[in-house]
C-alpha cells in the first residue's frame, strides 16, 4: 500500500480524537509486510495522562501485540510531527521509519524545533518521511483550534 493509504487511516484516527474533544492526532503502526498492527489517537484528556499521545498509545498496543517493546522493521504513520516525548519513545522502540503529515512548529522534535531522529549520539536513527497528506493533516488541527477559540 502507499503512504497515502496508511496516512488516511491515521487521519481517520485523528478524526476520532477531534470528536472526543482531544487534539486531533492519529497514528498507525505498520509491520514490514504492510499489516497494521496498531492504531490510536490522542486521549490525554480522557485518560488523564499527559503521555497518552497517539504515537505512545500505538506503541503500547503494538508492543503488546508482538510481545516485545522493540519494534524494528515497522513504520509509524502519524498526522502531526512527533513531540520530544514521542520521538524518544519511537527511537527507544527502534521504529524503522516515521512518516508524518504536517509539521508542528510549537512541539515538533523531528525537524521543527529539534532533529532527534538525526542525532548520531543515539543508537538508532529512524528514516523520516514528511508531508504525506500534509494539507488534510494540518487542516484538521487548524479546524479543531478554530472551533476551540469560538467556544472560549
Which residue numbers are catalytic? 55
Q: What are phi and psi of 92, to 5 degrees?
A: -60, -40
Is 128 in a helix, a strand, or coil? strand
Is 100 in a helix, a strand, or coil? strand
DSSP secondary structure of 20-78:
TTS---EEEEE-TTS-EEEEEE--HHHHT-TT--HHHHHHHHHHHHHT-S--TT-EEEE
Report whether 93 contacts 70 (CB < 8 A). Answer: yes
Amino acid at each position: 500500500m502507499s503512504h497515502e493509504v496508511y496516512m488516511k487511516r491515521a487521519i481517520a484516527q485523528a478524526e476520532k480524537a477531534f470528536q472526543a474533544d482531544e487534539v486531533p492526532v492519529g497514528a498507525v503502526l505498520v509491520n514490514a509486510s504492510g499489516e497494521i498492527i496498531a492504531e490510536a489517537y490522542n486521549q490525554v484528556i480522557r485518560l488523564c495522562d499527559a503521555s497518552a499521545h497517539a504515537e505512545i498509545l500505538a506503541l503500547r498496543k503494538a508492543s503488546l501485540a508482538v510481545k516485545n517493546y522493540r519494534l524494528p522493521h515497522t513504520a509509524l504513520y502519524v498526522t502531526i510531527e512527533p513531540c520530544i516525548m514521542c520521538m524518544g519513545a519511537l527511537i527507544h522502540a527502534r521504529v524503522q521509519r516515521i512518516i508524518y503529515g504536517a509539521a508542528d512548529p510549537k512541539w515538533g522534535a523531528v525537524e521543527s524545533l529539534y532533529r532527534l531522529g538525526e542525532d548520531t549520539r543515539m543508537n538508532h536513527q529512524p528514516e523520516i518521511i514528511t508531508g504525506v497528506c500534509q494539507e488534510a493533516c494540518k487542516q484538521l488541527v487548524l479546524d479543531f483550534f478554530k472551533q476551540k477559540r469560538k467556544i472560549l
